[in-house]
Every structure is written in structure tokens, then in C-alpha cells.
Structure 1
Amino acid sequence: MSVTAREESTPSVAATLRSGSLGTADIAFFVISAAAPLTVMAGVAPLAVLLGGIGAPAGYLIAGITLAVFAVGFTTMSRHIRSGGAFYAYITRGLGRPVGIGAALLALIGYNGMEIGVYGLLGSAGRDTAKALFGVDVPWLPIALAGLLLIGYGGYRSIEFGAKVLGVLLVAETGILVLLAGGVLVKGGAHGLSGASFAPGHVLVSGTAVVLAFAFAAFTGFESTVIYRREARDPERTVPRATYVAVAFLGLFYAFCVWIVIQAFGNDEVIAAAAKDPGGLFFSAITSYVGGWAADLMHVFIVTSIIASLLAFHNAINRYALALAEEGVLAKSLGTVHPRHRSPYTAGIAQTVLGLVVVVGFWAAGADPYNQLLLWVNTPGMIGLFALQLLAAIAVPCYFRKVRHDEGTLRTVVAPTVAAVLLATAIGLVITHIDLFTGASSTVNTLLIVIAPAVFVAGLGLAWWLRRERPAVYAEFAAEPAE
């Protein structure tokens, strides 16, 4: 403790992220919170049921298994790479600096897109909650701006503070879903409990492709465990454990909750109920099986679920920006760490300002907070993160071919190769069904699809420029930190 205090009070010593701060549970809280389980279930799962039928729960299990296979090679590589750059560091080691720099820009756009768009969801959900609980109409912009300030403050504080906040919020949002599950299980559902959702006849249908597209999107951000490596306790063990915990929890919990809501209405009635009011499916179920007070709580916890997701993504973005500033790719000022909180606070301020510009810009244009700010900004971010996962899966066997190691072939070749094929399939499913995510015109959808590859190509151009104009920065990009 005395050493930490002396370091913080000595101006000549630059502050760094606080190592040894996060355990497995802390990192898992960040990752699971980023996925926003309650928001995904109440807001998106009804569409999966409507379009994919009662076999929808199996789609979430399939997505979870796919990402668990990806995690095998991903976490194996995490034992060999200590960089704070996560995705781009892994990709650089396996596929070379140009691809790695392209991945770095793609990561910035991907994570920023996933976070900033969600301020539209916060404004929309906050407005709906105020209307449902108090009967008042509140403009969405003040809610979104309040969220920006709150998230900015959370990122400014220490990582331990963020972990504690996310722990509380995650317990609340999962707790309300467990409460719904308890009510349905105790009462035996609408017509008794059924396992038909997992029967091949209901899983192997054309609508399952749509379910898988939604399901893969529901896991977005799970791989950010490695971003916290520098702050983790015993990262060689903590990071892989947190990754597997996050994937297992999300896959099983999603499948269970979707199955529960199907039981609440019955196999024959749930699709009609979802078609009539998809946004109210979970609220109707919890009102019937638990009570109106629980539906009111669900409204509140959806808002806190969104806040938790925003804070988790904000912390991940800040650490990516910090790593790139330390690499010399971004402005050096973004690499400043707060001397007391040990947070990358200048990167956090910059990210908050960027969010403010985008949110206010959409508001000034008269855009809808959900249909446009959320969906149009989130979608290219989601595609970008899927592309990063694919590149990382391809990078694993390439990396282990270059270095001496004692890892098994299953971990270094088989699992990442299988994951790459499955992830490429997932990307194809999302792009093929992008209209279901955006509800936009074909022109808008085409634009949203090309953003991620365009950013990656721009990154390749940046790599060419750095190699020519700043060779020292290029040569040291994603290098291992000194012991």
C-alpha cells in the first residue's frame, strides 16, 4: 500500500493501470454486462421466437458452443501475449502488422459503434419506462445525455469501482429473469413444461438461420476479457476462466430464458403472442406468473441493464485507446492514466465527447433513437466485432506455426480452424438478414455493411503510411511489453 501511495504522489513517475485489481468474477461481470442479458431477452428474443419458432432456445445454445470453440484457441494464445491491445495484438502476431493495424482501427470503430448506438436505446427505454410507470412523456435526448455523463464518470473512476457497479446491476437484471423463471416453473407453464424446443424437428428449420443471426449478436463483446489482462490477478488463469464463464453463462442463460417464455405461453400460442406484441412478451409473462409489480421492476432493470452495458463497453474502449496511444498510433495524450483512480481517463473523456457529438447529431437530424441511432450505429459495430473474431481465429494457428510452444494441436489448430468456419458462417447469416436488424432500406443496409471493410482498408493504408513515415512506430506496433 505504501508503494502505491508513493507512486501516486511522485510527479516524475507516470501513473499506470492498477495491476492485480480484477479477479475472474470481476472480468466476467464486465463481459456479461456488456451483453446486457435482460435487454437482449426482453427486446430481441421475442423476434427470434417469432421468426424461428419454438426451436429458438437451441439457436442460443449453438451460438454459445461456437463461441466456446473460438475461446479455446483465443485463450490459449492469451497465455503467450501480454499486450493490452487484445484483438489487434493477437491478429498482428498471427497475420502481420498491416492486418493488425487494420484490425486496430476496426476494433475502435466496432466497440464505439456498439456503445454509442446504445445511448439511443437508453433514451428510448428510459422514455418508455417513464411512460409505463408514471404516465409522463419524457424526451429521449435528456435521458441519453444524462447517461453520457453517468458513464463518463464511471469510466473516470477506478476499475474496481466499475466492477462493483456492474456486479450490482448484473445481479438485478438477471435476478428479475430468474424470478420470472421461478414463477413459470412453479406453476408449470401454460400447459405443462415441454422439451419440444430442443427436438430436431423444431431446431432444423429454415427459421433457425434467423435465430442464429440474433443469437450470435447477443454475445457481442464477450471476447473483451483479454482487454483487462493488465489489471487482472494472475492473468494467465483469470482471463481464460472469465472468458469461459461468460460464454457458458450467456449461452445457457439465454437458452433457458427463451425456453421459459415459450413455456409461459405454450408451444402453440407463443408465436401468436410474439406477433401481437413482441416488445411486451416478457412483460406479459412476468405479470401473469409473478405480478404487475415485477413487470414494473423489469422496466426499471432494463434501463439499468443498458447502463451496465454502456459502462462495460466504455471501459473496454478506453483501454483499447490507451493501448493504441502507447503504441504511438493515437495521440499521446490519450495514453494518460489518472494518478489516483488509475483509469485511462483522457481516453474516456475523448470517448464521451465522441458519443455526445453522435447523439446530438442524430437528435438534430430528427432521427429516431431506436430505429436509427441504435440500429444504424450498432449494426456496423457488430459486424466489425464479428470480423475481428474471425481474424483472431485465423491468427491463432498462424501464430503457433511461428513460435516454439508446448500447446496441443487441438487448441492451436483444430479449434481455431473450426471456429473460423463457424464465425464466417455467422457473419454471412448476419449480413444476409441485416434487414431484420435495421429495418432500413437496401441502400442504408449496403452502407452499413461496407463500413467495417472500408475501415479495415483504411487501416491497411495507415499501416503503409506508418511504415513509410514513422518506421519506429510501425516496427514496435503490438510488441510485447517489457517485463
Structure 2
Amino acid sequence: MSSVHQPVPQLRRRRLGVIHLLFFTVAASAPLTVLGGGVTTTFAVTGNAGVPLSFLVLAVALALFAVGYAAMSRHVANAGAFYSYLAQGLGPRWAVSGSFVALLSYNAIQIGLYGLFGASLAGFLSSTFGITLPWWALAVAALIVVGALGVLRVDLNARVLAVLLILECIIVALYDISAFGHPAGGSVSFAGLTPSNLFTPTVGAVFAFSIAGFIGFESGAIYSEECRNPRVTVARATFAALTFTGLFYALSAWAMTVNVGAENLQAEAGTKQADLVFSVLAQNWGGGISVLGNLLFLTSVFAALLSFHNGVARYLFALGRERVLLAAFSRVGAASGGPLTGSLAQSALAIVVVVAFAIFGADPVLQLFTWFSGTSAVGVVLLMAVTSVAVVGYFRRHRDAASTWQGLVAPVLATIVLFAIVAILVINFDVLMGSSDPGWFERGFFPGLMLVVALLGLGWAAVIKRNKPAVYKRIGQTAMAPEVVEPKIQLNVPTPPRAG
């Protein structure tokens, strides 16, 4: 038997900069999808005119989380992100538990988006070209394209996302200009930014919907091993993504309140949904821009699909590399340097779920997308809350690595705020599922699923500790220290003699 030590599988290094990560994180949040889908739905369900302000409030709350998260990213770089942070701050068993919750959460939002994409594309083809195709066939077609891109170079993925994201942001900006230029009643109203309009009995439901729009801003750490300078890249990208999405969402939601009028929001949003955006574009910029907006709504969903797919594949890679899951998940593509098996596994799971929903005749938006995106919101915010605790634990042992604000005060405040948001999400989960008459299933099944998965993770960690103690000790430790810089290779080439 050979005693040669096998090298640890690695992703291709130094391919991504701050801009690349910014495209991945903001694309996951999908600005046009949030405006045309999330914001209009929130107005329709709650009738709360303070939705724009909710984005600013949540951005401040998430910024508290980002302080500690970014500080820790300067010392730990691992494709497992939350998984490695929990290992370094709380220990291996919490890392495995958190990784199970992360896999469920990111798979849920990624697979749920196939329902939204398939239904939206089917509606667009039917209304524009008179072509009738089943939503699931279109979802599977998108799945194949996403799967193909997922096994290619990660910087190529970033370029695809860059083009789609820039175009959709231009469309949203055109909408904002039109909305503010044509205010209801002839003057710009500040009702959307008034605290008394937000803090009504429906504020919990508003926060439950609005927090889903931020999911993805935290995903920069997943690509930390592939960054050119992970010590600063992840932190800068995280803060940039949070600042951009918070302000952009607030501005665009406010534009909608100005254009429609606070008193008309619920009725108009309930009737028109995404067309509340596209009809304004058509009136002010022409039918061609409206059609382009519809197309970019689809590419917005597609961009989010690709971004979350890449995230799940890297989580599976990290867990396979440390033998928490099958070692096969650590396989990377010879040419792309990306997580090959993880990408294929995510695609396989997605197609099984999409086909199952199609067979049982489930609604792709009201059930597949709404149920799964709500589940993801609960899981990701829960992970943020527990990771904030891990940040405190890590910097207690490395006191000189961060300031008191970064390593203690901000993470403690973030923990309190984020657990409060988790409680709001669970209490209002029936609203996320679109139920007007909630039963035990609507209120408890999917949030309870997160608890079950977390407990399964703790159990699996106990099994690993008992049967593979060496593996257990390495959990979350296979990380590239961001401060370590690969040495430059210098060639000693003799200097040619001077002429003369």
C-alpha cells in the first residue's frame, strides 16, 4: 500500500475579484424579480405602504451581521462559508448541523426559482407569440442550461451574470425614472418612507416578505477560495452587495408608491402583479422596452438560478473534501477547476423535484416557488443568527484579530436582531405561503423541517465523531488562510552583455 499523502482537492485559485463576487451576490438577490414579484406581492398581501422603509431597516439589521461576517472572512477562506465559520467558532458538530441547514436552504431557493421561471416564461410565450408550452418543460430546459454553465469556469459564470445583471438594473432604473416622473396626484409622496405607515399590525408580514429579497448577499464567502485576494475581497463584496440591494430596493419600492399612490397600492398590485412595472415602462419608454423588461425579468430569475446553483455545488465540494459527505463531491473539473460532482448532484436533485411537482399537478408559483423560497428565508436567516454567535466564539480565542466592535458588539447585536427576524418569519409563515386560512401545515411544516434537518446534522456529526474521529477533528479546518500569499516565482535570467 502506498504511503504517499494524497493532495487535498482544491478549487481553482485567484480567478475572482470584488466585481465578480458582487455580480454573484447581487444576481442571487435578483433586483428585477424582487421588484416585479416580491414588492408587488408584499403590497398586494399586506396593503402596507411602508415596504420601501422596510428594506432600509432590514439593510441596517443585516449590516450588523456583515460586520462580524466580513471580519472573519479575513481569517478563514473555505467554500463551505457558514459551515467553516461555525466549525471555527462553535465546533465541528454545529458546523455539520449548519451545513445541513445551508444545503436545504440554498437548494430550496434554487429549485423553487425553477417554478417561477417556468411559469413566467410560459406566460410570456403565450401572451407574446401565442405559443403554449408546459411550465415544467421550460423549467427543465433552463435546468439543463444552468447545469451546463455550472461545470464551466466560474469566471465565465460571472461574465454571464454581469451582462444579465447590468441590463436588468438598467430596466429597473428606467422604471424608477418613469415612476417618479409621473407621481399619482401630481406630487412625490413620502408615504413609503414614513415609519407610521410601516409599523402597523402587518409589519411582521412585510418583514417576512422583504427579507427574502436580500437572500444571496451573504454568499460571497462561498467563493473565497477562488478569490484573488480573499483577505479583503469577500468583505468588500459583502458590504457592497448589501448597500446596493438595500438602497436599490428601497428606491424602487418607493417609486412604486409614488407612481400608484399609497391608497391604491393593494388593489393595483393585486390585480396587475408584475405588470405594474411593465405597463409603466410601456407607457413611458415604448412597447419594445416593456417586452425587453419582460425578457429581463426572465433573465433575472435565470441569473439567480445560476448563482444559487454555484453556491450549492461549492457547499457539496467542501463537505466532500472533508469526508463529511461522500468524497466524490470533492471532484473538480480538470479544465474548469470548479466543483464538478457537486454541480451535477444539484442539477439531479432539481430535476427530480421539478418533475415530481409536475406529476402531482402542483402550482409552480404558489406552491413550488412560494413554499421553497419561504423555507429558504427561514433557513438562511437562522444560519446568519447562529454564525453571529460563532463570530463571537472565534474572536474570543483570537482577541487581537478584530476590534471589540467587529468581534463582540456587532455580532451580539446581530444575533439578537436576527433571531427576532427568524421568529417573525415563523409566526408569519402562513403569509409567505399565501394562505388566508392557515392550518398546522402552513404554519409549522416547513419551519419545522429546518429544525429536523439541523437535528439530523447534529446526529450525523455524532456518528462521524464515533466512527471517524480523524475526520471529525478536521471538520471546517481545510481552509486557505487568506493572509497567506503564494510566493512569486522569479527566474534568474542572465543579463546580456552591453554592446561595445
Q: Check the 8 A contact 2:38/2:210 in 1, yes or no.
A: no
Instruction: Map residues 203-222 of structure 1 onto 2, 5 A cutoff.
Output: 203-222=198-217
- Taking the aligned partners of 2:213 and 2:449, their CA distance within structure 1 comes to 21
2:20 maps to which residue? 26
Aligned length: 472
Displacement of 1:340 after TM fit? 0.9
CA-based RMSD: 1.8
For residue 345 of structure 1, the aligned residue among 331, 340, 346 is: 340
What TM-score, normalized by structure 2, do the two folds share?
Answer: 0.91
Describe the SS at the equivalent of 2:78: coil
**Match of 1:386, as an amino acid?**
V
Q: Percent identity?
A: 34
For residue 29 of structure 2, the aligned residue among 24, 35, 39 is: 35
Deviations 1:119-162 (A, max 9, x none): 11111111111122113322111101101100001111100110
Of structures 1 and 2, the larger Rg is shown by: 2
For residue 328 of structure 2, the aligned residue among 333, 338, 351 is: 333
Instruction: Map residues 68-83 of structure 1 onto 2, 5 A cutoff.
Output: 68-83=63-78
- Taking the aligned partners of 1:293 and 1:436, their CA distance within structure 2 comes to 35
Q: Check the 8 A contact 2:53/2:195 in 1, yes or no.
A: no
- Taking the aligned partners of 1:202 and 1:383, their CA distance within structure 2 comes to 25
**Match of 1:466, as an amino acid?**
I
Instruction: Map residues 41-440 of structure 1 onto 2, 5 A cutoff.
Output: 41-50=35-44, 51-187=46-182, 191-440=186-435
Q: Check the 8 A contact 1:328/1:473 in 2, yes or no.
A: yes
1:6 maps to which residue? none
What TM-score, normalized by structure 1, do the two folds share?
Answer: 0.94
**Match of 2:472, as an amino acid?**
Y
Displacement of 1:66 after TM fit? 0.9
- Taking the aligned partners of 2:232 and 2:238, their CA distance within structure 1 comes to 10
Deviations 1:356-380 (A, max 9, x none): 1111111111211112222233332
Deviations 1:10-40 (A, max 9, x none): xx98874221111111101101111111111
More off after superposition, 375-384 vs 216-225: 375-384
- Taking the aligned partners of 2:186 and 2:310, their CA distance within structure 1 comes to 45
Q: Check the 8 A contact 1:105/1:456 in 2, yes or no.
A: yes
Deviations 1:387-435 (A, max 9, x none): 1111101111121112242421111111111111111111111111111
Q: Check the 8 A contact 1:15/1:338 in 2, yes or no.
A: no
Whichever structure has more helix as a proportion of its residues is: 1
Q: Check the 8 A contact 1:113/1:382 in 2, yes or no.
A: no
**Match of 2:449, as an amino acid?**
I
Displacement of 1:82 after TM fit? 2.5
Displacement of 1:475 after TM fit? 1.0
Displacement of 1:208 after TM fit? 2.5
Structure 1 runs, 4 residues or longer, greater than 6 Å off: 12-15
Describe the SS at the equivalent of 1:478: coil
- Taking the aligned partners of 2:84 and 2:99, their CA distance within structure 1 comes to 8
- Taking the aligned partners of 1:59 and 1:115, their CA distance within structure 2 comes to 24
- Taking the aligned partners of 2:430 and 2:285, their CA distance within structure 1 comes to 35
Displacement of 1:334 after TM fit? 1.2
Describe the SS at the equivalent of 2:76: coil
1:4 maps to which residue? none
**Match of 1:351, as an amino acid?**
Q
Displacement of 1:286 after TM fit? 2.3
- Taking the aligned partners of 1:123 and 1:384, their CA distance within structure 2 comes to 24
Deviations 1:104-125 (A, max 9, x none): 1111111111111111111111
2:474 maps to which residue? 476
- Which structure 2 residue ranges, 5 or more long, are not aligned? 1-5, 485-500
- Taking the aligned partners of 1:296 and 1:188, their CA distance within structure 2 comes to 23
- Which structure 1 residue ranges, 5 or more long, are not aligned? 1-11
Describe the SS at the equivalent of 1:405: helix
Q: Check the 8 A contact 2:87/2:477 in 1, yes or no.
A: no
2:493 maps to which residue? none
1:454 maps to which residue? 452
Deviations 1:302-343 (A, max 9, x none): 111111000000111111111100010111111111111111
Q: Check the 8 A contact 2:29/2:216 in 1, yes or no.
A: yes
- Taking the aligned partners of 1:252 and 1:415, their CA distance within structure 2 comes to 21
- Taking the aligned partners of 1:15 and 1:418, their CA distance within structure 2 comes to 37
- Taking the aligned partners of 1:292 and 1:408, their CA distance within structure 2 comes to 54
**Match of 1:127, as an amino acid?**
A
Displacement of 1:439 after TM fit? 2.5
1:442 aligns with 2:439: yes
